[in-house]
Amino acid sequence: MAKLVSVNVGKPKNVSWQGRTVYTGVWKSPVAGPRMVRRLNIDGDGQGDLDGHGGEIRAVLVYQVASYDHWAAELGRDDLTPGAFGENLTVDGLPDDEVCIGDRYRIGQVVLEVTQPRVTCYRVGIRLGEPRMPALLVSHRRPGFYCRVLTEGEVEAGQAIEKIAAGPEGLTVAEIDALLYLPGHPREILKQALRIPALSPGWKWSLQQLLDQDAADATAAGNSGLTGNKVPPPAWPGFRPLRVTDTHDESSSVRSVWLGEPDGAPLPDWLPGQSITLRIPAQPGGEPLIRNYSLSNGLGTGKYRISVKREQRGTVSAYIHDHVRPGDVIDVAAPRGTFVLDEGQGPLILLSAGVGVTPVISMLYALAMTASKRSVWWVHVARNGAEHALAAEARELLDALPNGRSHISYSAPATTDRVGVDYDDAGRLTADQLADLALPVNAEAFLCGPDSFMDEMGEALVARGLDPANVHREKFGARSALTPGITPTDVKPPHQPEGPAGPGPDIQFARSAISAKWAPSYASLLDFAEACDVPTRWSCRTGVCHNCETALLSGEVRYSVEPLQRPASGNVLLCVSSPSEDVVLDL
């Protein structure tokens, strides 16, 4: 029979790491005597990052003596003592390749139910002084597992662990862990895993994404269970020249540019809501600048249209307005992005402000082309009629939808603007006004506009009752960072890295509008981006979690460590890659 060897607890604390401060509860130490195990925790214990650890589903973390022995031999260590892997219960027995999700165990009065494998996290690497640890735990199939507490009570080292119920599908912790993180995601096993009631909601969501992923395109699509990205790979790598076929002013500040193949062949279609990246020689000396623009036309035209607002200090937007003419040739990267119209049949809310209407127009075209019977609400904010770009186009598309409705707010209507005809409300759209529209709470919502607008309206929709997972935002600039456990500091604008310029390839961060020379002193593109204060997203830093997966708009990279699973075609894992040549990253 399995035995409880040690009970380990530890409160979160600040730890210095690579010049930053990490708030973490990974430092656990054995305690003497009995400890109370409660629904959310063990007395005296805590977690620093409740997004990835702790809570009712992950109340107790279990790790095995046999795995300690394995790592001692594998890493050549003699200093690994209970709690070193951040676990609450160190046990003799209960191996990951035998314990199943849904198994139940009794320790004294306490009853635990196995809910999921350990989440990959860089902090266990900090605790052990071994940065490879998140990847090693997965590749060696020794992750450990979390439990929920079904019956509270006291536990103490030395107690026996009794199995009192078996998980209904017989899938082990190691099998579930590999199903998500390692190559090969058998559909029948995915279906089997999704039938386990005890499996945590987060893991169910990830496995459902893998099940929904196109099996025929699995290699190109990467791991949608980790990224949530089920869009097809880009139609071509890098940049290619496209010819400007037409330009048209859509309002006093927005100009549309049509792009086509130089030989007249049709361009590949895209998903409604996606964007393209342009490389424009808008600087003195012809140095190119890179910007992303949403596509604003309908599918099936064989051409791409972007609609660009002239910004007050926008070098590229001014160049497009003042210099781009039919016949010009512009370098363009293929349509990309995950801000795309869903394929469901439920209600839709399309909420836009200003030039944020551009991806919404593409979505309206797609709905009108299929004569969709979905309930569609378009809520838009503009300054006035003169600045309301694509207004007539949007109304015509909505008129083609049997269940299409709109609400237009002008923040400063002109005397010629007609209330009830051109717009519905004067003034800035507020959360209260949005609530008064009685928008459907079971809708998918797509928001595009200034960050403050999307934040305020997104919060209003959630307060109204929408599931936060169904509220999607599109950002034209740099996306928000994800740096779990890092104590926030003053946000700096992206800049050149400190010190002399490196001798290596040019690294261009498209959304942050900077480029810098690579230096071999950096371990990865992630480290280099952080040195430039470019917002990044990461968690494991070892090529496992795919949080750092980013579109590689052009160039080639090499991997210092082969990822457990390659990213989607056209993407790169920043944390384990370095440039082989000049690269452009969608950061």
Pick from 18-22, 60-64, 473-477 the range whose average pLDDT is largest.
60-64
Q: How confident is the model at residue 88 (pLDDT cuts 50, 70, 90)?
A: very high
Using an 8 Å Cβ cutoff, are 145 and 118 in contact?
yes
Q: What distance, in Å, lies between the first and last C-alpha atoms of the chain? A: 52
Tell me the domain boundaries of the chain.
3-212, 239-336, 348-474, 505-585
Residue with tokens 């499996």: 199
Q: Identify the band that residue 225 occupies on the pLDDT scale cut at 50, 70 and 90.
A: confident
Which of 63, 45, 78 is CA-nearest to residue 4? 63
Contacts of 189 (CB under 8 A, 6+ apart): 171, 175, 179
Which residue(s) pair with 473 in the sheet?
Answer: 447
Helix (H, G, I), strand (E, B) or coil at 210: helix
More confident residue, 225 or 518: 518
All residues at 6 or more sequence positions from 500 whose CB lies less than 8 Å from its CB, including other chains:
none
Superfamily of domain 3-212: PK beta-barrel domain-like (2.40.33.20)
**Fold of domain 239-336:** Elongation Factor Tu (Ef-tu); domain 3 (2.40.30)
- CA nearest 439: which of 470, 409, 464? 464
The answer on pLDDT for 489 being more than 80 is no
Q: Which of 228-237, 370-379, 568-577 has the lowest mean pLDDT?
A: 228-237
Place domain 505-585 in its CATH homologous superfamily. Beta-grasp domain (3.10.20.30)
Partner residues linked to 463 by β-bridges: none
- Going by pLDDT thresholds of 50, 70 and 90, the confidence category of residue 31 is very high
Please report, rounded to a whole number, the percentage of residues in the chain having pLDDT higher than 90: 75
- Residues 323-336: b if buried by 16+ CB within 10 A, e if exposed: ebeeeeebbbbbbb
Residue 179: pLDDT above 90? Answer: yes
Which has the closest alpha carbon to 293: 284, 304, 281?
Answer: 304
> Burial of 418 by CB count in 10 Å (0-12 exposed, 13-18 middle, 19+ buried)?
exposed
Average pLDDT over residues 229-247: 92
The answer to whether residues 295 and 276 touch, using CB atoms and an 8 Å cutoff, is yes
Three-state secondary structure along 39-51?
A: CCCECCCCCCCCC
Residue spans of beta strands (DSSP E) within 340-403: 348-353, 376-382
Q: What is the CATH number of domain 348-474?
A: 3.40.50.80
Residues 12 and 24 sit within 8 Å (Cβ to Cβ)? yes
Q: pLDDT tens, 202-217?
A: 999 999 989 987 654 5
* 477 and 511 Cβ atoms separated by less than 8 Å: yes
* pLDDT, mean of residues 213-233: 73
> Measured in whole angstroms, how far is the alpha carbon of residue 425 from the centre of its chain?
35
pLDDT value at residue 513:
85
Average pLDDT of the chain?
A: 92
Q: What is the pLDDT of residue 261?
A: 96
Q: How far apart are CA 525 and CA 293, in angstroms?
A: 25
The confidence score (pLDDT) of residue 445 equals 95
What is the distance between the alpha carbons of residues 43 and 45, in angstroms, rounded to a whole number?
6
Strand 506-509 versus strand 583-585 pairing type: parallel
The predicted pLDDT at position 227 comes to: 84
What tokens does 277 get?
A: 């990246």
Indicate the burial class of 378 (C-beta count within 10 angstroms; 0-12, 13-18, 19 or more).
buried
Task: Report percent pLDDT > 70 for the chain.
Answer: 97
Least confident piece of the model among 312-326, 329-343, 383-397, 469-483: 469-483
pTM: 0.88
- Which pLDDT belongs to residue 555? 94
Is residue 218 very low, low, confident or very high in pLDDT (cuts 50, 70, 90)? low
